[in-house]
Structure formats: structure tokens, C-alpha cells
Amino acid sequence: MLNEDALFYSRVLTELTLSFHIIYATIGVGVPLMIMIAQWVGIKKNDEHYILLARRWTRGFVITVAVGVVTGTAIGLQLSLLWPNFMELAGNVIALPLFMETFAFFFEAIFLGIYLYTWDRFENQRKHLLLLIPVAIGASFSAVFITIVNAFMNAPQGFDMVNGELVNINPILAMFNPAMPTKAAHVVASAFMTSAFILASIAGFRLLKGSDHIYHRKALYLTMKLGLIFSIATAVIGDFSGKYLAEYQPEKLAAAEWHFETEAEAPLILYGTLDNGEVKYAFKIPKALSILAHGTPSAEVTGLDQFSEDEIPPLYIHYLFDIMVTIGVWMMVLSFIFWVGSKRAWSFIHARWFRWLIVLGGPLSILGIEAGWWLAEVGRQPWILRGVMRTAEAATTSGQVDLMLLLFAGLYVVLGIGSVVILSRMFKSNPVERELADRKAEKGGVVQ
């Protein structure tokens, strides 16, 4: 029997957990690659600053990994506690990617520990760099395997439905469902992009606070350049995601674009408001939705008129789409201007106002990631397993979910504040200038 309160609190708690976890998960996926690139550049250029970048980023990364483990464990726990009917139905199908995600994380963690505790123990730094390859691979594949579970929920396949049960399960076919390629690629690319802009935000903030050391300027240039590369990659993959939705989840695309009637040469609607079903104050790009959906301006795009009312996702996901796209395009433009300005010696990229834009880019990128995940999850409603099980059918009937919400919310507050305090104190007590001086003294060389 459906418990409306249990369903509501289950959805709120799941959204809260995913929203908090995605911050640390994104950093956990993206930062290992940033560390590897920084150390590789340092070795290639024989530049101590880039080597130190990798070293300091690794210390901070370990803290975020620890918090990510806690929140990731909470997600696994909540899947069973809050959505028992879903786990009973689909548990056998998603067990393989969940296990592989755990294996990928342990693979990453083992080599991260070895990498962290073997600094300065290799005469050839290239051998030490090799330890980062399994760390970066493990981090990325951890994201891929957990995203496969989400992709299966959007495009379930690899089983037969008999008397309300999933039988004849083919877990490999279920894993390689139609949603998997674009969703996994988009998650990984956006994690790389967001991590680069977060690190750029930190470097920009240090420069604004007067620490105009060449170390921070090199960090800013490297991360903004990487952010530009991965923001372009994310946009390209996003285009493929639109074409996937048009073919496999047309109701989600139509709801996100406020595309109410099936028509050819469909415009792309950005921003605006809804007034009794009428779109007002929107910015429309002629034929762009047809291009996004099918690659040609004359293509017909399925509208919401083709679906029953109880299968249409909430229309507010349009605003989530606007936030995600606007932030992505803004960060791409900002990083492009910075890159071109660095090449052509434009002075304004060193101005305080421009550096503040870079600093704000970190939080904005996190907001963009959040909006993208909310769009992905809310846009699947009313289904938890599209076409098979509705969200209301999957939820627990327990009357204690509201208490769980309060307890987990308290846990996330402690973890969030604690991680920020620890990271701040870690780097304040050991500023880069002091560390460079210490390494200069150790090596008896010159570090500028």
C-alpha cells in the first residue's frame, strides 16, 4: 500500500544524498587526471612548480575521497532501505555494475595510497607517474560503472518480464543499453571539466588574495586550458545526448524543451516562463531543436501531445536544462577568452574583475553538474525503471523516513563543514611559498 509521506521523504532524502555526493564524486573522477597531467608537464619541462601542483592537489584529493566513500556508502544503503521494491525487481540486473564499481574504486584506492606514500622515493619520476595511470583509470571507470546503473534505469533491457518479475537476465546486454554510451561519456567529460574549473577557481582566488606567485599563475593557465578542452568535449557529447533522447526518451526531451506539439523545423526554446500552457518571454532559436534531435533542420520532433498526461515529466526540468547549458557555454567562452588572452598578452585577463569571474566559475560549474543530474533524474519521472516500474511503486512504506532524512542531513552538514575546515587548515598551515623554499633547501637548487 502506497505511503505518500514515505514516498515524498524517500525522494527528498535520495535527492539530498545524490546532490551532496555528486560534488565529491565529480572531484573524485576529475582530479586524478589533473594530477597526472600536472606531474607529466612538470617532468617534461623539468619544472618544480608543476610537480608541486600534483603533490598538493593529491593531498587535498585524499580528503575528498574519504568523504566520497561515506556518501557513496550512504547511496548504496538508501537504495535498499528507501527503494526495496526496485531492488527486489532489478537487483539481479544491476548487481554486476555495482560490484564492478566497487572493484574500480578499490583499484584506484590501492594505487593512490602507493602513489601518495612514495613521493621522492623514485630516482626516475616517470616511474612514480606510472602509478597515477591506474588511479585515473579506476576513478573514471568507477564513474562509468555507476552511471551504467543509472543508464539501465533510463533504458532497461537484457531481461524478460514474466508475472511481474525480471527473468532470463543478460547482465552484459543490460549494461550496454542505449543510454550507456552518451550518459557515461557525458558524466566523465563533465567531471573533468568541472574539476579543472574548481582548481582554476582556487588558483584565481589565491592570486586575488595577493599570493601572486608564479606557481598559482601556472596552475591557473593549466587548469583553464584543460577546462576549455573538456567543456568543448562535454558540449559535443551533449549534442549526442540530445539525439539519444529524441530516439529513446522523446518525452524527456520534449518536456525539457517545452515542445508541446509534434512538428518539423522545431525551434529550440531557452529561458521563458509558462502561463497556462503558453510559453512567454522565451528565446527561440529557429530549427535548432530539430538539429539537436535528428541532425537536420527539417526533421520532425515528437512533442508532448503524443504522451498521456501521467507519463509526462515535470515541466520545470526546462529551467534545469537552461541552467546546465548556460553555465556550460559561459565557462567555455570564459576559458576560451582566457586562453586567447594568454597567447596574445591581453592585460584584462589579469584584472581583478576577470579573476573574480574565474573564481565564480568553480561554484558555477558545480551548480551546472547539479542541474544536469536533477534534469536526468526528474526527467525520468514518473518512472524509476522506465516503462517497467513507477517511482511510487518502488518506495518503502516505512514511517521512519522523515527521521532518516534528519539524521542523514546532519551527517552531510558535518561532512561538508568538516572537509572544508580540514582542507583550509591543511593548506594555510603549509603555504606554497614555504613548501617551495623547503624543497629548494632540500635539493640545494634554485626554485623560482
pLDDT tens digits, residue range 136-181? Answer: 998 889 889 989 988 998 888 888 888 777 788 888 888 899 999 9
Q: What is the 3-state secondary structure (H, E, C) of 48-99?
A: HHHHHHHHHHHHHHHHHHHHHHHHHHHHHHHHHHHCHHHHHHHHHHHHHHHH
Q: What percent of the chain has pLDDT over 70?
A: 95
Please, what sign has the CA dihedral across residues 338, 341, 343, 347?
A: negative
pLDDT in tens, 120-134: 777 778 888 888 899
**pLDDT of amino acid 236:** 92
Average pLDDT over residues 382-398: 86
Which pLDDT band holds residue 436 (cuts at 50, 70, 90)? low
Place of cell 515542445: 259
What was the pLDDT predicted at 446? 43
User: Confidence class of residue 444 from pLDDT cuts 50, 70 and 90?
Assistant: low
- Over residues 389-412, the mean pLDDT reads 87
> Does the structure show a pLDDT above 70 at 9?
yes
Residue 251: pLDDT over 80: yes
What mean pLDDT value characterizes the chain? Answer: 86
pLDDT of residue 438: 63
Mean pLDDT along residues 341-362: 87
Q: Where are the alpha helices (DSSP H) in 345-400?
A: 352-378, 391-394
The closest alpha carbon to 29, from 166, 169, 189, 252, belongs to 189
CA-to-CA distance for 164 and 412, rounded, in angstroms? 37
Which pLDDT score is estimated for 448? 41
6 has a pLDDT exceeding 70: yes
CA distances, 139 to each of 69, 134, 224, 238, 351 (Å) = 12, 8, 21, 21, 36
Q: What spatial distance separates the first Cα and last Cα of the chain, rounded to whole Å?
A: 69
CB 435 within 8 A of CB 428: no
Cβ atoms within 10 Å of 321's Cβ, excluding its own? 21
- pLDDT confidence bin for 402, thresholds 50/70/90: confident
DSSP secondary-structure letter at 347?
G
- For the segment 288-322, what is each residue's pLDDT rounded down to a tens digit? 888 888 888 888 888 888 888 888 889 889 999 99
Q: Which of 351, 352, 353, 361 is nearest to 330 (CA)?
A: 361
For the entire predicted model, the pTM comes to: 0.89
